[in-house]
Amino acid sequence: MKTKSRCNPTRHIGTGMLRVDAADKVRGKTQYLNDRTYPGALHATVVRSPTARGILKSLTLDPAYDWKGVTVATAEDIPGENVMVMHDRSMPLMGAVGAELRYRGEPVAVVAAATAEKSMEAADHVRLDIEQRPALLTLAEAIALFKKSPKKLELLKTQNIEKGDIRRGFAEADEVLEAEYWAGHQEQLYLENQGLIVFPRKDGSIYVEGSIQCPYFPVNELNAALDLPPEKIRVKQTPIGGAFGGKEDYPSMLAGYAALPALKAKKPVKITYERHEDMLFTPKRHPVWVRFKTGFKKDGTLTAIECDYILDGGAYLTISDVVMYRGILHCALAYRCENVLIRGKVARTNSMPNGAFRGFGAPQAIWGLESHIDAIAEKVGKRPDAYRLQIHARPGDRTPTGQLLTEDNGSTHCLDLVLQRSDFAEKFKQASRGKLRKGQNKYYGIGLSFFAHGSAFTGDGEAKFKAKGRVELALLEDGRPGVNIRVSSTEMGQGVHTIFTQIAADGLSLTPERIRFPYADTGMAPNSGPTVASRTTMVVGNVVYRAAQDLRNQIEAFASRRYFKGAAARMRHSKLHAKGFRALPFLRVARDMREELGEVNGAFQFILPDTVQWDQSRFKGDSYPGYSWSANVAEVEIDPLTLELTVTRVFDVIDIGRVINPMTATGQVEGGLTQALGYAVMEKMGTGKNGLFDASRLQTYIVPTALDVPNYDVKFVEYPYPFAPPGAKGLGELPMDGLAPAIANAIETAIGVRLRSLPITPEDLFNAVIPPA
């Protein structure tokens, strides 16, 4: 059943309004960090550990080198604690002399000089004496150890999810199926590399600006290391050329690196990576090993889902605990099963700590589960579509943590519609299954995946965080009144400036031309939380809408008193109306209001209803404020001559609640699906014996080009989120979640072999189907 939106009829929400940043971006007027000049700024280069593991015995400066004009900062120059707070305070900002270095590239010093060239040259003259220790470089090594003796594996975090009784579940099963699935690193590959600049101020405060996805993160992170109170750290985003999670946690480290020489030299210090350094030494998507063991009846009814989900955390935990939580919460989310046991782990390896990337652990979980569900369907002799229709979760069901799925979950609709649009049942009959059918000159296959994605922070994150936002009456650049949206959400290409302009316009009933969304700045905007977790439109969008309504109420009250002799005023379409009076334009009312009252703000703080409950210690309850749903169908062709693979068509039906802007939403889906296509069949990053990634340039790290992109068929179904008037649920991460297993399932129907490790390349198909010579 489709629920009705509680929204009033609106003018801008739901329309494909042109992006507010489009004109400047296509004309090249937008100034990114490296388009700006910062006179007098020094440029910093990070000095890194040349070994994957060892004790730093000494760090000395080459006495023969001329160090004039060069500032070198090490752990000794850290004013506060040598710690990145993150989630467990285990990672130092800088490797210190005497300490253990845990990954190739771990920073031990920062060198700043007048030019980038000079700082790179000087960095080569910092001498490190390191006592080597044996290193564990990859997840493959870690899992081999785990299989031999689980206790030998060094774990940074563990968490289980339990529902029902797993032993009873297997006892009730007619059959049991067990399989393992792997996936490797994935690089975010934002167009604009990492970079920021730190300005030390005379009053002891610092100002940071740069390509930063979550401006409040460096504020929180640096206060321990720099021993500065949060109010003395101001962070502003410059226009961001893509982030995808890659600029969530990492800019905090980058700000730390730049701040040390900046404070020492008392000069602004800029740090920016070129592509090679960015690819080698910034966080990636976590490699995963996931083992599913499922029990089921002859008709396919699931009686038990047991799952081990192990992420490669890299050398330090950083934010891998929450990535793992999101992962395990998606390991058995989309299907009915009364007995579930999921064991999540973050393994430690001597590699660059992995971090945030669109999907945040969920794509790895869904990759395993959706491959496994197809394998079960085959075992019980059902088509993958019919089987999913039978067992998928729907309103009235409870998730593995016991959350009741309410009517705002459009799971069945997504599945039905994607099957219908792709003509799945009919095309499934034509799949080659390893033998060319009449009329086929390529192996043909079609595959399905189905999944949910929890919108916003995991667990009680949003309830605790209480995102804040303001909408302020202000003079715009033309000297006339308008409003500024003041939230800490960042525009990084995904379109939030446009979306929030639409939402504010409807909340106020004001033309979007009078609304601005200045770049996020911790000095100007309250903390509405990081721009992550598919939470921005749903959570912060709601804050903006309610703050806009608050401002509208204030404007109406003012107008009623000032012009309408107390008669009720109503703001509609940028005018103030009252019965028996001539309507007054917003511009006049706003000007008078500012003159009389000074600062005028609408404000709101996000709250969740008391009915939403989460118990973090038992990992039970409402694990997300809401769920978006999606079903993907992929069609593939495989050349029998060479085993080259082409993904020809992809269908995606998504329930993201109310669609605020169908044009930008479709763009976000197509872009995300393309990123997922790369994850599925191209993007491969190995680790060399030296601890460095082997694919660290655009030449060697293969992402899809325009010619590799299939035809997309994207369709939205709307089951609006009931607790937020705009009705939106999460979108950003969903297109990344489920395409890889849909493609793997399609490959299985094409050649009759299931591939269990991502990415799936022609070489892998060759190894799977061609017997060794």
Residues 291, 314: Cα–Cα separation, whole Å? 20
First to last CA, the chain: 57
User: How far is 309 from 294, CA to CA, in rounded Å?
Assistant: 14
> Which residue, 24 or 694, is less far from another protein as judged by CB?
694
Q: How far is the CB of 186 from another protein (least distance, A)?
A: 16
To another protein, the closest distance from the beta carbon of 254 in angstroms equals 15
What is the C-alpha separation between 599 and 474, in angstroms, rounded? 8
Choices 233-241, 556-564, 650-658, 690-698 (CB under 8 A): range interacting with another protein: 690-698
Query: Which of positions 334-393 make contact with another protein (CB under 8 A)?
Result: none
Q: Which of 58, 129, 697, 711 binds another protein (CB under 8 A)?
A: 697
Is residue 103 within 8 A of residue 314, CB to CB? The reply is: yes
Q: What's the min distance (Å) between Cβ of 763 and another protein?
A: 5
Nearest to another protein of 23, 698 (CB atom): 698
Among 708, 722, 753, 757, binds another protein (CB under 8 A): 708
Reduce the secondary structure of 275-315 to three states and give it as a string: HHHHHHCCCCECCEEEEEEEEECCCCCEEEEEEEEEEEEEC
Cβ 117 to another protein, closest distance in Å?
A: 4
Closest CA to 512 of 525, 497, 495, 524: 497
Tell me if 448 sits within 8 A of 633, measured CB to CB: yes
The one segment of 10-18, 376-384, 659-667, 759-767 that binds another protein by CB under 8 A: 759-767
Residue 191 lies near another protein (rule: CB under 8 A): no
Near another protein in 476-495, by CB under 8 A = none
With beta carbons less than 8 A apart as the criterion, state whether 560 and 576 touch.
Answer: no
- Near another protein by CB under 8 A, which window of 239-247, 390-398, 612-620, 638-646? 638-646
Instruction: Note whether 695 binds another protein by CB under 8 A.
Output: yes
Q: Which of residues 117-156 bind another protein (CB under 8 A)?
A: 117, 120-121, 123
What are 345's two structure tokens? 């782990």
- Rule CB under 8 A: is residue 274 a binding residue for another protein? yes
> Smallest distance, Å, CB 46 to another protein?
9
Give the Å distances, CA to CA, from 434 to 371, 637, 716, 754. Answer: 18, 12, 34, 11
Closest approach, Cβ 42 to another protein, in A, equals 15
| Residue 49 Cβ vs another protein, minimum distance, rounded to whole Å | 14
Q: What is the smallest separation between the CB atom of 50 and another protein, expressed in angstroms?
A: 13
DSSP 181: E
Closer Cβ to another protein, 134 or 772, answer by number: 772
391, 682, 731, 739: residue in contact with another protein (rule CB under 8 A): 682
The residue written with tokens 């000079």 in the block is 118
For 35-69, what is the HEC assignment?
HCCCCCCEEEEEEECCCCCEEEEEEEECCCCCCCC
- DSSP 8-state code for residue 84: B
Q: Which of 644, 666, 727, 747 binds another protein (CB under 8 A)?
A: 644
Give every CB contact of residue 692 below 8 A, 6+ residues apart in sequence: 104, 105, 280
- 546: alpha, beta or left? (left if phi > 0; alpha if psi -120 to 50): alpha
Please tell me whether residue 702 binds another protein under the rule CB under 8 A.
yes
Q: What is the CA radius of gyration of the chain?
A: 27
Q: Which of 21, 277, 506, 718 binds another protein (CB under 8 A)?
A: 277
The verdict on 767 binding another protein (CB under 8 A) reads yes
Told to check if 116 binds another protein by CB under 8 A, we report yes
* Residue (of 626, 310, 250) closest to 457 by Cα position: 626
Tell me: does residue 69 bind another protein (CB under 8 A).
no
Residues in contact with another protein, counted by CB under 8 A, come to a total of: 32
Q: By the 8 A CB rule, do 282 and 194 touch?
A: yes
Q: Does 276 bind another protein (CB under 8 A)?
A: yes
Q: Residues in the site for another protein, rule: CB under 8 A?
A: 45, 116-117, 120-121, 123, 274, 276-277, 641-642, 644, 682, 686, 694-695, 697, 699-700, 702, 704-708, 762-763, 766-767, 770, 772-773
